[in-house]
Structure 1
Amino acid sequence: MDMQGTRQLGVTQQQAWDALNDPEVLKKCIPGCDKFEKGAQDNQYAVGMAVKVGPVSAKFTGKVTLTDIQPPASYKLAFEGQGGVAGFGKGASSVSLVPNAGGCELAYTVQAQVGGKVAQLGQRLIDGAAKSMADDFFKRFDEEMQARYPVAAAAAPAADAAPAPKLGWWARFLRWLGFGKSTA
C-alpha cells in the first residue's frame, strides 16, 4: 500500500514539529491508539493500538523508529507491528513541514505491507481503512492544534472553507431577528 498527501496546518512549523514529536499528542490523535511511549533506544517508541479492517479486529503492538531527523522540517520513520492471528504490518513513512503564510504545510508519504488475515481482505478494503485512519488522525490533530494554539488556528484560513456568501440586507435582517441561526 502506498499513500501520500498534504495538509495545511494553521500553526507554525515549530508548533507542528513539537506536536508531532510529543507522544501524548500522538496517542490522542492516532485512531485506536492506547500506548505511545518512549522506547529503550533514542528516537524509538513503543506503540499499542486497536485496528479494525472490515470484519477483522485486532490489537497491534509494535514500534516506531525515527531517522533522518531535520528539526523542525522533516523526518523519516519506520514502523512494525504484530496483531497476533490477524497478521502484521510494517513500513516506512516520511513527514515534512514547510512554513507558509497560513502556518505550515505537512506533506507525508507512506509505504506499508500487511500480512496474515488482514492481507486476505483485499487491497481496496485495506486502502480504504488506511485512508479513513489518516483522515481521522488529521481531524484529531487539527482539533488538538486548535485547543493548544487557539490564536494561531483562528488566524489561519481553513483549508476546505469556502468564502462566506455575501448576504443581502433582507437576509441580514432575518438573521438579526433570529432566523437561520444554528442552534449547535
Structure 2
Amino acid sequence: MDFNGSQHISAPRAEVWRRLIDPLTLQQCLPGCEHYQQLPDGSYDVVIAAAIGPIKARFKGIAQFSNHQEDIGYRVEGNGNGGIAGFGKLSADVRLEDSDGGTALHYAARAQLGGKLAQIGSRLVGTVANKFLADFFLRLEKLVGESEEHDSP
C-alpha cells in the first residue's frame, strides 16, 4: 500500500525540522504511542497501540531514520509486530519546503502488512492510516504552534 501526500504547517521550516527530529515530539504526535526510546545504535524502540477495524493490538517494533538533510528531510523505515494481529513494515520519505506562511511537508510512504491485518482489506487499512496521519499532523501543528508562542517576545 502506498500513501502519498502533503501537509501545510504554519511554522518556519527550521522549526518544523527541529520538531521532526525531536524524539519527544514524535512520541507525542504518534497516535497510540506508549513507548519511544532511542537505542544505542541510533534506532528507536517503539510501542503503538492501534485498532484497525475489529483488530486491536500493541505493535512493538523498531524505527530507523536515515538520509538526514537538515531542514530538507529524511527517510524512516520501521517494522512492528502485533502478535496474533500480524505485522507491518513501513518506509517513508519526508521532505520539507517553504510554503506560503509556513512549511509544506511532503511524504511518500509504502506499507506492507501480514497476518490478520493483511486479511481485513486495504480499504479499511487505508482509512485507518489516513486518520492516523491526520491525527499526527494535528498534534504536530499544535506542538509547533506552542513553540512559536513561547519564542515570541
User: TM over 0.5, yes or no?
Assistant: yes
**1:123-175: CA deviation from partner (whole Å, max 9, x where unpaired):** 101111101100111111111111121388xxxxxxxxxxxxxxxxxxxxxxx
Give the aligned partner of residue 6 of structure 1. Answer: 6
- AA aligned to 1:23 is P
Matched, 1:108 2:107: yes
**Conserved? CA contact 2:13–2:97, under 8 Å:** yes
Partner-residue secondary structure (3-state), 2:142:
helix
Count of residue correspondences:
152
> Take 2:51 and 2:91, find their aligned partners in 1: how far apart are those partners?
21
After the TM superposition, which residues 1-184 of structure 1 pair with which residues of structure 2 at under 5 Å, given as runs? 1-42=1-42, 44-150=43-149
Shift of 1:122: 0.7
> Take 2:10 and 2:72, find their aligned partners in 1: how far apart are those partners?
16
Q: Out of 94-103 and 59-68, give the one that drifted further.
A: 94-103
> Take 1:90 and 1:138, find their aligned partners in 2: how far apart are those partners?
21
> Take 1:13 and 1:46, find their aligned partners in 2: how far apart are those partners?
27
Considering fraction of residues, name the structure with more strand: 2
- AA aligned to 1:74 is G
> Take 1:23 and 1:55, find their aligned partners in 2: how far apart are those partners?
30
- AA aligned to 2:68 is I
Unpaired runs of at least 5, structure 2: none
> Take 1:72 and 1:37, find their aligned partners in 2: how far apart are those partners?
23
Partner-residue secondary structure (3-state), 2:51:
strand
> Take 1:91 and 1:7, find their aligned partners in 2: how far apart are those partners?
19
Partner-residue secondary structure (3-state), 2:136:
helix
- AA aligned to 1:10 is S
Partner-residue secondary structure (3-state), 2:106:
strand
Partner-residue secondary structure (3-state), 2:11:
coil
TM-score normalised over the length of structure 2? 0.94
Higher relative contact order (Cα pairs below 8 Å, separated by 6+ residues): 2
Runs of 4+ in 1 over 3 A off after TM superposition: none
Could you tell me the percent identity over the aligned residues? Answer: 34
**Conserved? CA contact 2:8–2:99, under 8 Å:** no
> Take 1:80 and 1:151, find their aligned partners in 2: how far apart are those partners?
35
> Take 1:21 and 1:36, find their aligned partners in 2: how far apart are those partners?
13
Partner-residue secondary structure (3-state), 1:149:
helix
TM-score normalised over the length of structure 1? 0.79
